[in-house]
Each structure stands twice: as C-alpha cells, then as structure tokens.
Structure 1
Amino acid sequence: MKATLVIHRVTKSPSGEGFVVRVSAELLREKNLDVTLATFSPPTDDLGFKNVRVFPIHLRRFDKYQRLLTMYSARKTRPDFFLNMMGVPIPLSDIAPHVVYGVAPEFSSVPSKYSSSLFWKLYLMPMKAVIGKLKSEAKRCVYLANSKYSAKAIKEVYDVEATVIYPPVDVQDFLKAFHETGEPFFVTVGRFEEGKRLDLALEFSARSGIRGVVIGAMEGKSYLKYLQKRKEELKANVVFLPNASRAQLLETMSRASLYFHPTPGEHFGIPIVEAMASGLIPLVPEDSGGAEIVPEFKYRSIQDAVELAKGWVEAPPSVRRELRDRSTMFSRENYKEKMLNILEKFS
C-alpha cells in the first residue's frame, strides 16, 4: 500500500511539530507502507523515505507559503492516501483520500503573532486570497486537530468538524525526571522567538518573586538580547539556557516545582505535558489548548498566575503523582493507536 507523507520541510530542530512528524513517520514504517515524503525543500533530517520536493535548496523564510507550495510536490505522487501534517488543506483529495492533521489556522480569531501587528496581517493577505479553495478541500478531506482549541478555530475558518487526536509527547523520557518535592523555582520552555512571549515569564518572576529558568532553541540572538534587557528592567530572577541539551532540560525539570507556560493562543503545548510527567505544577493561559489538559491550573492574567503559584509551589506529592499519571494519556503509543484507527479506513 502506498502513502504520501506531506510536510513542508523536515529539519533537525527540536520542535513540537517536528516530533509529531517523526512519530507519524514511525507509524507508517511500522505498517510497512510504501511511503513518499512530499516537501517544499530538501529535508535535513532523514526519515528514511524517498523524497519529492518543489525547491532545490533550503529556504527559511515564508513558512506559511512553503506549506501552500508543497501542494505541487505532493500532487506528483499517486498514493492510496495522503497524510498531510502541515495543517493546510491543500487540494489533494481529487487524487486520493486526504487526511489533514492541523492546528488552529493563523487567520482565525485565536490570538497569535499573526494578529498582533500590521506586518503579520499583511504577510497573511495573499494566503487569505485562496481561503475559498482551501475551504473547499477541507470539506472533502478527513480533518484532524491537535486539540479542542484548534478544532474550534478550524470550524471557524473552514466550517468543518475536526476529530481531536492529541499530539504525541515523549512522556517516558520525562518520567525519569519525576520527583515529589521540588525546589522553589519554575521552568519555562519555548523557542527564543517573539511569538512565544517568553517576556511574560520575566514578568511572572518579577511579580511573584519566584526565580525561573527559561529553556529553548534559539535561531537568532536579537530576541534573547531583548529578553536580557527586559530582565534588567523588571529585576527578574531568571536564568536563560538557550540551546540547552536534552540532559540539561531533564536535569532542570528534575528539580523544579512549577512550570510556567507563557504563550496565549498556544494550540496544545507539548512542554506542559513534559512538565507534568516530571512532577511540576503547570500554570497555563486560559486562552490556549493547554487549559484542556490542566483546567485547574489555568490563569487569565499574570497576577492570576502569581496567586496560583503561591498556592501550589509546595504542592503535595499526591497532586504531582496525579499529574504524572495524567501525562501518560499523551504518550506516542496512544497517538499512534488513534491515528492508526483513522488510517486503517484506507487500507
């Protein structure tokens, strides 16, 4: 049986989307399918599949439009079904059944960097021009969402009901960091980029008096310089660990008491589940997919988060154990099982 795995690019950078792609690729390999990888540019991470692509060299800019243009490589293939991990319903269902796994569309009412400035609004204007064609395809394909939060936004933009399959999380690795009594500091995990709103972690530290550690991948230094300046202004007790190793992340998680997630509009938030598996109390924005995971720890404002932190920084071991057990619902095995139930309909 033939399948085409559609993703605009594959890189070695540690991202939630990248991990979902890798686990999905594992599933296709385990089912011994004949898989073609359709991408925009050449992959830098080998998934073990033959590759069809549009562009001969890597292009780091215009991510959203790379996703649209990947249609041209995907349409060169003739599979029994497409598994599209880009979240954009590009026209493919006239060739074969089309399964789209997606997050909240950028031009929904969900808060994001794309709704925060004129620059990003202008950036999305050409994409909005093809929304009619995308909406038509969305009604023909099998649409999957990574959270109820994303499903609501997909309904708003494409007028389709999406089935929720939560993304996989490498829970087993973080269970090794589980502890019942943590030190009085928090961890925040996220890429060092403006859209992740890591500056809110600094404000949280300054207001609560709780020290913090911010960990994440970094592609450019400008945002880190901004954070360092903001840290001095707020007198926040925060340490930055850009491009920290996996071992550093696990070691830090194994000691912390709290996890602060700063990103409003986050579709899911894989680090939230990683923190739960490690025994941390996660504080998450109410307006995000993370609020589905831990509704008892959602906050509306930084001050709300401060009050939550004061009450839970010394959480009893029983609460930490319950969060650990809840995290196992998001294992890669559970994701594969639910995704396989969808894909088996085309075998």
Structure 2
Amino acid sequence: MMIGVIAHGLSSTGFSGEGEVYRASLEALEEAGIDYFSISFSKPRNKVKNPVYLFPFPIRRFDRYQRLLVYYSAKKVRNKVSLFLNLSGFIIPLSDYAPHYIYAGRSPRGLNVSGSILKRIYQFPLHRILSTLKFEAKKAFFAANSRYSAKAISQMYEIPEPRVIYPPVDVEFYSRAFQIHEREDLFVTVGRIERNKSLENAITISAMTGIKGVIVGSLSDRRYLKEIISKKKRMNANVDILPNLPREELLKIMGRAKAYFHPRIGEHFGIPVVESMAAGLVPVVPRESGAYEVVPEFSYSSLEEAVEQLKRAVSAEDKVRRDMHERAKPFNRSRFKAEILSWLREGVGANL
C-alpha cells in the first residue's frame, strides 16, 4: 500500500505545531512499514521521502491558497496511492481518487471574512472556495486536533462532529526542564513571529503586571517583529524577544520560568501550552481555544482577566506545577502515532 501524505508546510522550518504533526505522522507510517509520498505545494526545505511538489523553491506568502493548490501536486500521484492522508487541514477534492483522511485544526476565527479591507480582500475568495467544497467534506473522513476544532469543522461543513486526536507533544524533551525549585517570576510565550499569533498581547500583559516575559518563536514576518519591538519600547515592557532560538536554549528558559502565557484567542490547540506543562510551567490560556480543554482553571476571556490569571500562575504552589507536569504526559508522541494508525486502519482495514 502507498499513501499520499499531504503536508503543505514541509517547506517551512522552526517552532511549529503543524510540523510536529507531520514528523510524528511520517514516523508512524515508517514504523508500521507503510510507504508514502510526501506531497507539498513547493519543494520541501529538508530531505523527505518520495517528495511530490509543483514549485522548485519554497514560497513564504499566500499560505492558505497554497493549501488549496497542493491539490495539483496530489493529482500527480492520484493513480499510485490507496489513500490520501491530508495533514494540511484544508479541504481539497480528492475523494474520487482514493479515500481522503483529513486531520484538521481550524478555528472559526481563522476563516472569517473580517478584519482590515486588505485582509477581507485576501480571504474572501478563500472563503467562497471552501464553501463550494462542502460536498468533499461529506465524502472525506475527518479527525480534529481538539473538541474546539471538531465543533468548528462540524459547523463549517455541516457534518457530524469528527473524532478528536490531540496532536503530538515531545513530552520527554520538555520534561528535562521539570524541576520545582529555583524558578523566577518569569513567563514564556512561544509562537511563530507572525501577525496572527497575537504576540503583542504578551507585551501588554507584561506591562500590565510588571512580570518579566520572554517571547520565543521562528521568524516569519520581519515587519511584525519590528512592530512588537516598537510596542515593547513604547510600553516600557520587560520582555525579551528571541527569534529562532534553538530548542535547547528554550528548554533552559523554561527551566527558570514559572508560567506560560498563550496570547492567541481562537487557537485550535496550542502545542506549546502542553510543552510548557511538561516543563513544570503553569499555563494561562484563552477560554476560546482548544487549550482550554487541557487547563480550564487558568483561562481568560479578556486581557484584564489574563492579568489576574498570570499573577495566580506565577504564585502557584509546587503541587500545581507537579499536576501540570503529570497532566502533560498523555499527550506524548507515541499516543498520537498509535491513534493516527488506528484511525486509518478503521477505514481501510487491518492490512494497513
């Protein structure tokens, strides 16, 4: 059996929850002895097995449209695969060629036609195209990365709520930072440095609380980086902004910090939340997000509420940190790999 794995973001690098999903899924197939094509819109940045793509170089812009156009890459191997495993989240019409399994994590906020005029112009065609592909959703097999995403997918495509397979977290790696004593009044925020990650909220929270913060993430938007640095200076916030920091260095910071702040409302899950928990940090998360399912007791709906929750997180007792560490363990990569294979086997049989 040959599987077509649609992994649009193979051409990107850095801290990425979607990248963790790619890596763990491909590992699961390889460990099970299943061969596959690695399908992306543009050429993968790193070496992958059996690459299939359209453009010979990575393209950084128009990410969402690339997720639709990867359909033309997939068509190249439509007669060579027994199943498509779509890890890029977007609907593309492949079910007439082979069973189409879609692992998705898309929030309602992510696809709304709202915001600035330019943003509305950019998103309007996308919204219309996805609306016309509802027929494909009724043929495809979905799994969601949180109950929050499952509800959004059900509403968007008018289908029953799909099963939930929480994404993989490298719990073992981040557990190396777990220790109770010798921590500072410090919070960490992890996310790609791009506008839709709302990293400016971490700067605002630091200024409002007086608690030092560290923002870590792969650099995707230099203009946005300049904007948040400027905001930090205007607000006189005690925040370090560290683009493209190696994971080992991030681990050292997590070993010193007491709390994690997740700034993006509407996040479909938020792998860094669970990574921080494995390291013994107490996360503060938006109530409107998949992360709320993991740590509801430290959630917020407004920045004013987040201020109080961050103060609680920083002053939490040691037993709370131990509980967070234990709560992170079931989100490990082995669990994810087993659940992904089980989901595929249910549909196409035990011969997978």
Give the TM-score normalised by structure 1: 0.94
Match of 2:126 in 1: 127
Contact 2:169-2:275 at 8 Å conserved across structures? yes
Deviation at 1:113, TM superposition (A): 8.7
2:69 is aligned with 1:69? yes
SS in 2 for 1:83: strand
| Partner residue in 2 for 1:264 | 265
Residue 87 (structure 1) aligns with: 89
Aligned counterpart, 1:223: 224
Deviation at 1:221, TM superposition (A): 2.7
Aligned to 1:164: 164
Give the secondary-structure state (helix, strand or coil) at the position aligned to 2:14. coil
SS of residue in 1 equivalent to 2:10: coil
Taking the aligned partners of 1:325 and 1:180, their CA distance within structure 2 comes to 13
Q: Give the aligned residue type for 2:210.
A: G
For 1:242 and 1:113, locate their aligned partners in 2 and report how far apart those are by CA, in whole Å. Answer: 29
Q: Distance in 2 between matches of 1:8 and 1:56?
A: 14
C-alpha separation in 2, matches of 1:57 and 1:235: 41
* Equivalent residues in 2 for 1:216-255, closer than 5 Å: 216-255=217-256
1:139 — aligned with what?
Answer: 138
3-state SS, counterpart of residue 35 of structure 1: strand
Amino acid at match of 1:240: I
Alignment of 1:191-206 (within 5 A): 191-206=192-207
- Residues 174, 113 of structure 1: alpha-carbon distance in 2 compared, 3 angstrom cutoff: farther
Question: Which deviates more from structure 2 when the two are superposed, residues 217-226 or residues 198-207?
Answer: 217-226
Alpha-carbon distance change, 342 to 212 in structure 1, aligned in 2, over 3 angstroms: same
Kindly indicate whether the alpha-carbon contact (under 8 Å) linking 1:135 and 1:158 is maintained by their aligned counterparts in 2. Answer: yes
The answer to whether the 8 A contact 1:5-1:37 is kept is: yes
- Counting matched residue pairs gives 343
Contact 2:261 2:310 in 1 (8 A): no
| 2:188 counterpart SS class | strand
Change (3 A) 1:36 1:115: same
AA aligned to 2:73 is S
* In structure 2, C-alpha distance between the alignment counterparts of 1:57 and 1:213, rounded to whole Å: 33
Question: Is the 1:112–1:265 Cα contact (8 Å) retained in structure 2?
Answer: no
The structure 1 segments of at least 4 consecutive aligned residues displaced by more than 3 Å after TM superposition are: 111-115
Quick check: 1:112–1:195 contact (8 Å CA) kept in 2?
no
**Is the 2:112–2:127 contact (alpha carbons within 8 Å) kept by the matching residues of 1?**
no
Higher mean alpha-carbon deviation, 37-46 vs 138-147, is at 37-46
Post-superposition shift, 1:114?
6.2
Aligned to 1:307: 308
Q: Distance in 2 between matches of 1:312 and 1:76?
A: 51
With over 3 angstroms needed to count, the CA separation of the structure-2 counterparts of 1:189 and 1:227, relative to structure 1, is: same
CA contact (8 A) 2:14 2:217 kept: no
Q: In angstroms, what is the RMSD of aligned CA positions?
A: 1.6
In structure 2, the CA distance between the partners of 1:113 and 1:95, relative to structure 1 (3 Å rule), is closer
In 2 relative to 1, CA 187–71 (structure 1 residues): closer, same or farther, beyond 3 Å?
Answer: same
Identity %: 45
- My pick for the range that moved more, 124-133 or 158-167, is 124-133
1:97 aligns with 2:99: yes
Contact (CA 8 Å) 2:111, 2:127: kept in 1 or not? no
Distance 1:309 1:130, change over 3 A: closer
The residue type paired with residue 58 of structure 1 is P
Opposite residue 99 of structure 1, the aligned amino acid is Y
Aligned counterparts of 1:312 and 1:53: Cα–Cα separation in 2: 45
Gaps of 5+ in 2: none
Partner of residue 6, structure 1: 6
Larger mean Cα displacement after TM superposition, 180-189 or 127-136: 127-136
SS of alignment partner, residue 99 of structure 1: strand
Tell me which residue corresponds to 2:324. Answer: 323
The unaligned stretches of length 5 or more in structure 1 are none
**In structure 2, how many angstroms separate the alpha carbons of the residues matched to 1:266 and 1:275?**
16
**Deviation by residue 1:9-41 (Cα, 9 ceiling, x = unmatched):** 413333111111111011111111121122211
Contact conserved, 2:283 with 2:313, CA < 8 A, in 1? Answer: no
Post-superposition Cα deviations, 1:266-321, rounded to whole Å, max 9, x if no partner, equal 11011100110011110001111111110011011112121122233122221111
